Structure 1
Amino acid sequence: MIARAAAALLLLWALGFAWFAIDQPGPAPDAAVTDAIVVVTGGPGRVQRGLDLLAAGRAQRLLVSGADRRVRPLELAEVNHVSPALVVARVDLGHEAVDTRSNADETAGWLARHRFRSVRLVTTDWHMSRACFELRRIVGDRVTILPDAVRSEPGFTALFKEYHKYLLRRVAAPLGW
């Protein structure tokens, strides 16, 4: 009986990992409009994607959550080839977040301060499940979240680690951890 239960759990875990690895989310439609855009730092292409969407008029403001304290708005504009005026007027750099949970906390506070009701969440495809989970856990139904995943080519190790982080948060969050 114990062996069957262990085998069933192992099979469930393996199928879950296979689903997680194969079913990576993709970008949201470029034409979709939200009140705000939030870019979770940490991977290539994320900030550029958010800034391009902001420049195209797909949102009112953009938050770069988890930005390095040394990053300045004009440097951000120059590196990403966007108008400095756009960055100065409509981009906020969040310096408080150090991980996905604190990205969600920082984002939720920023969304509330601006009274935004919808947000496009930009992060890498392999990170999207956990980032969405953490943000939804805090904002609930008060804010509509549009996942916008930046495509990447994660290796087995990156997917394996992220899958376990995601599982751990799904178990720990309801327990208050």
Structure 2
Amino acid sequence: MSRGWMALRTLAFLLVAGLAIGFLVFAGRIATYATPDTGRQADAIVVLTGDAGRTTAGIDLLREGRAPQLLISGVDAAATPADIQRHSGLSDDELDCCVILGRDATDTIGNAREAGALVRENGYRSLIIVTSDYHLPRSLLEMRALMPGVELIAYPVRTTPPWRDFGASRLWLQEYAKFTAVWLRQTVTPRPESV
């Protein structure tokens, strides 16, 4: 076997091993996200739409008085306030006084932009970020890049861990790939915009 072939095999092995170790670190980070103490308050709650349970968790936090305002980021443009109320159980008063429906975001960086606009408009210094546990690392990366001085309190909505379900494994691996891409992008070209 030639030296070139051996070097290529060694490089491939190191790459696969590095990715596997990286995924284990990623999964370990997700496992460390704990639900914040019940007394923990913030200026606003930001829910990133997507998986089931996210909006409900955000509404529960609002009703507990953890923040006076809730941004639901990534609401479908066709959804009416009545649709939101039917699916969320929000009252008219809650919707009118305390809930902002963010309709511009179509991805995680869009969520970060909507949250950043909320922070700029109101001078907020802390946000509770509600999303699925596996989505938190990338969400926090995108938000910290746009809001470096804002305290971001992670609120994980628990999902099936990858070692229990093949579908969850695929989802977590996809999210790990996206997280890695965002991390590399931010490492190579830090984003100049900030709050």
1:34 corresponds, among 42, 45, 60, to: 42
Cα RMSD (Å) of the superposition? Answer: 2.0
SS at match of 1:146: strand
* Native 8 Å contact 1:48 1:80 kept in 2: yes
Q: Is 2:143 aligned against 1:143?
A: no
SS at match of 2:39: coil
1:168 corresponds, among 165, 169, 181, to: 181
The equivalent residue for 1:18 is 24
Gaps of 5+ in 1: none
* Native 8 Å contact 1:27 1:151 kept in 2: no
* Native 8 Å contact 1:65 1:106 kept in 2: yes
1:166 is displaced (CA, Å) by: 0.3
SS at match of 1:92: strand
* Native 8 Å contact 1:41 1:67 kept in 2: yes
Q: Distance in 1 between matches of 2:129 and 2:87?
A: 21
Query: Which structure has the higher relative contact order (CA within 8 Å, separation 6+)?
Result: 1
CA displacement 1:42-65 (0-9 Å, x = unmatched): 111111111111111110111011
Q: Distance in 2 between matches of 1:9 and 1:164?
A: 14
Superposition pairs of residues 21-170 of structure 1, within 5 angstroms: 21-24=27-30, 25-140=33-148, 142-153=149-160, 155-170=168-183
SS at match of 2:147: helix
1:67 is displaced (CA, Å) by: 0.6
Aligned residue pairs total 176
Gaps of 5+ in 2: 1-5, 162-167
1:5 is displaced (CA, Å) by: 5.2
1:74 is displaced (CA, Å) by: 4.0
Larger Rg: 2
TM-score, length basis structure 1: 0.90
* Native 8 Å contact 1:26 1:125 kept in 2: no
